[in-house]
Structure 1
């Protein structure tokens, strides 16, 4: 009898699953009874959203109402950085799964409002019609027991109920945040002034290391600084204005400089007025008067003209 070879591979075990596919995923599902969130396939299988955006939308829909979903809070929760999270939030906004607005409270504070939609267009707004798909009818007992007859209540008021008031439409939420105003630009092109403006922006790092700008930011902000120089502002004055009283912490230096260059733009210089005439002394009455040349004041000039005539 031959000896058994222990190194020979075993025969593949047959899987007794009549519905199992030849390849691909096999689902093993268990019914959830608590702590679960329903996600539609229109989100889970979205063809245009990135995987980060789909996962972020699933996480936001699983959070209770009132949870902070800002970029900082999400970056502390997940290993993805703020740039990827911000890009995913913009994707969800573009496809109707998220709505972010800013609202000013009565005390003047501006807060961010975030609305998450488990299905785009789920909430009927003032310009949206409600979902035409009716809700499924509640299940009924197929063989209900007959109710016993009731005697009419003699104390009941025969007056019919008043007509119910129509439901009030929800007030529209705050509108989108307006875009920032454009940066100022000079009226004339001067290469020397443009170089001086770029030097002002590059030199801001000497005042505060946090104002170290990239080459792209310097090219974008240089025309605005040139507009200041065109209006008579000295380079040192522009530099002091941009670097004064910086907030703590300084998170977006480029946005702060763009705001100051736009909001604090000085007015244009007025046309130079002609210099007044110098003071002269009247040759007759010694009165001081302004005239381009020495002579007589306006009171003595008529008498001199009469004597000359």
Structure 2
């Protein structure tokens, strides 16, 4: 009997037509790169972006992958290559963070990922929330004005008030507190620099001080200053890979001037 050959490719039945792709796979032992189906069959990436990602993943570390370097290898041109690089950034296969050298110059560092990340490092800069006007700090709720007046005798026994005196002076103390004067400042105003002679009418003395030393109301808060204009985000020039600021990706000013002149 003829021995079976399980590794031999299956043949189509006589007269039958096989549709779709047929694979002839041979193992690679060197000079190859592993690519996941999440990239090779990505439903949203263009074929240009998929091919460019495979090429970048196959390169050794440190190989140049700037727009001009890639355009020198392939016929697609700088504009299509730049658009494909942005696709890979948006889907997490590529990151191009900006770094500032000690000389002050900004450069782009390219990082390739063989698996898409959930968060892209080089995402488009999001606008920061506008600063809200700061609210004045609220001090703890002060004691009632009547309590403040009743406790004045603990500072000086000559400031002993009757219940009637406390009720009569309470509205004046309330006015001080409503104008933002701290409780301690009101107490200091009423108890400092007292006469050395006996005080026959403490309520009259306190009423005089509350009336004559009343501070003016605090001025109304001024308008909130407008937030500073946020600079445009850094972009990679589609023509020369230079880092420049612009609201949208494209070419730097020098490349636009050279194109116009040409």
Q: TM-score, with normalisation over the residues of structure 1?
A: 0.36
- After TM superposition, the score normalised by the length of structure 2 is 0.42
Answer 1 or 2: higher relative contact order, Cα 8 Å, separation at least 6. Answer: 2
